Amino acid sequence: MKCEVINVGTELLLGQSINTNARDIGLKLAAAGLDCYCQTTVGDNLERIAAAIKTALTRADAIILTGGLGSTDDDLTRDAVAAALHLPLQPVPALEKLIRAKLRDFAPTATDKTMRQALLPAGAIAIKPTLGTAAGFVVEHKGRLIAATPGVPAEMNRMLEADIIPRLRVGSASGAVILSRILKIYGLREIEIENQIQDIIDAQTNPTLAPLIMRGSVAIRISAKAPDVDSALAIIADTQDALRERLGDYIFAIDTEEMESEVGKLLVAQDLSLATAESITGGLIGDRITNVAGSSAYYAGGVIAYDNEIKQRLLDVCPQTLLSHGAVSAPTAEEMAIGARTALGTDLAIAVTGIAGPDGGSAEKPVGLVYFALATAESIVCSNRTFHGDRNDIRFKTSQYALNMLRLYLLDRARRGGASA
């Protein structure tokens, strides 16, 4: 079953929205073992949407369209599908009723324009909207399936999972499954990884290995093709073990897991509580930690000590330390970590202070310079790094390094048999 994706929307071509739908559809098709060889984005233009559909029909067994199903003049996906398949558009009474009911609250006099959303290509099956008045639909054409959903991500994802993928799976005859696993790596460059595992890469044909560059880390994708899910997983597991033996603790997470969820698991396993003291990241580390469900079990909270006065008031950093060493210094980071651990009464506290830019750098302390400190009952560990990129990059890389520092400490502590934090 070969699928293609066509995302409709001038805002995507103009870069005004980011195409999360392409990503979400990719993830879900791959998980369902359905091949996808091409994604196309076209604007709100009848001829170009129809041309994209016709081109895709020459290559694919199924086409998934997103966007262009609303009620405005530039919502043209219904018309384009009808044109490409030479089908008339027909009103669907059930949709007319549903749209009138939904609109009663907001627009008592539903216009003809709004009611365009009740029109579908002849023979299409409507997918009921839950968020607005734009229905999705599926239509079969010469043994091929054409599905369309609104562009709103939540609605697209729901229709894809509940209505479209189940139909595609029924239509899939090959029975082959492609599964992938991603090993995320922190602390090695792509080329250093390749040097360490080149022989494993070269020896493989199934699974295949491919390096990926991600934000603040690199990764290796292991992809296996097999008749069923269990066989694919078994193929992946062998290679994963071999890579883990080489790369050890540099591997920090698998698949959709992130640094923050790994840190969370280690904290839970060792029954330790955590506080944060953030200057340069302004709350980003706390945000990442608390984006993990269940984080209230180990994360007490933190202090965002953006201003130097707050470092003194809430974290008890010495005015003298700030004066002699500056806010961006190892002594300040240490005192911030110790201060957060004391103020919040936790087992561990991590602190970061640095220069995010674009201003505030000097020859001695350039933009991107960050100091880190981790305070525990037994010790205070300190470190520093200089990161490159824009303000947003530097802040993200800082949060990634801080969480990794915590992860490595917790791994080491577990190996020492859970000595006192």
326 scored as a contact of a copy of itself (CB under 8 A): no
Among 79, 96, 140, 192, binds a copy of itself (CB under 8 A): 192
CB of 279 to a copy of itself, least distance (A): 8
Among 186, 250, 252, 299, binds a copy of itself (CB under 8 A): 299
**Cα torsion angle, 287, 292, 298, 300, sign:** positive
Cβ within 8 Å of residue 68, ≥6 positions away: 8, 9, 44, 49, 74, 75, 76, 77, 78, 80, 151
Nearest Cα to Cα of residue 185 among 417, 404, 409, 415: 404
Tell me whether residue 91 or residue 294 sits nearer to a copy of itself (CB atom). 294
281 scored as a contact of a copy of itself (CB under 8 A): yes
Nearest Cα to Cα of residue 381 among 417, 339, 348: 348
43 scored as a contact of a copy of itself (CB under 8 A): yes
- Strands of 187-273 (E only): list them: 208-214, 217-226, 251-254
| Rounded alpha-carbon distances, angstroms, from residue 128 to 5, 91, 98, 179, 413 | 21, 14, 9, 31, 53
CB of 114 to a copy of itself, least distance (A): 8
Tell me whether residue 139 or residue 156 sits nearer to a copy of itself (CB atom). 156
| Rounded alpha-carbon distances, angstroms, from residue 383 to 249, 274, 333, 380, 391 | 18, 19, 9, 10, 20
Q: Which stretch binds a copy of itself (CB under 8 A): 185-193, 239-247, 368-376, 377-385?
A: 185-193
Q: Strands 125-127 and 380-386: what pairing?
A: unpaired
Measured in whole angstroms, the distance separating CA 284 from the mean position of its chain's CA atoms is: 16
Nearest Cα to Cα of residue 184 among 252, 261, 245, 260: 252
User: What is the spatial distance between Cα 137 and Cα 402, in angstroms, rounded to a whole number?
Assistant: 47
Tokens for 412, please give them: 């080491």
Tell me whether residue 106 or residue 415 sits nearer to a copy of itself (CB atom). 106
Q: Which stretch binds a copy of itself (CB under 8 A): 14-22, 92-100, 245-253, 402-410?
A: 14-22
Nearest Cα to Cα of residue 182 among 289, 263, 257: 257
Residues 111-150 within binding reach of a copy of itself (CB under 8 A) = 132-133
289 scored as a contact of a copy of itself (CB under 8 A): yes
User: What is the spatial distance between Cα 203 and Cα 239, in angstroms, rounded to a whole number?
Assistant: 10
304 scored as a contact of a copy of itself (CB under 8 A): yes
Binding mask 354-383 for a copy of itself (x = CB under 8 A): --xxxx------------------------
205 scored as a contact of a copy of itself (CB under 8 A): no
Residues 88-117 within binding reach of a copy of itself (CB under 8 A) = 103, 106-107
Residues 232-271 within binding reach of a copy of itself (CB under 8 A) = none
Among 305, 349, 370, 373, binds a copy of itself (CB under 8 A): 305
206 scored as a contact of a copy of itself (CB under 8 A): no
* Strand-by-strand arrangement of the 369-375 sheet: 274-278, 348-354, 369-375, 380-386
Binding mask 44-63 for a copy of itself (x = CB under 8 A): xx--x---x--x--------
Tell me whether residue 117 or residue 376 sits nearer to a copy of itself (CB atom). 117
Q: Which stretch binds a copy of itself (CB under 8 A): 115-123, 140-148, 214-222, 316-324?
A: 214-222
CB of 236 to a copy of itself, least distance (A): 14
Tell me whether residue 293 or residue 378 sits nearer to a copy of itself (CB atom). 293
Cis peptide before 358 (omega within 30 of 0): yes
Residues 382-421 within binding reach of a copy of itself (CB under 8 A) = 389, 391-393, 395
Tell me whether residue 208 or residue 384 sits nearer to a copy of itself (CB atom). 208
Q: What is the dihedral of CA 129, 131, 133, 134, to 10 degrees?
A: -60
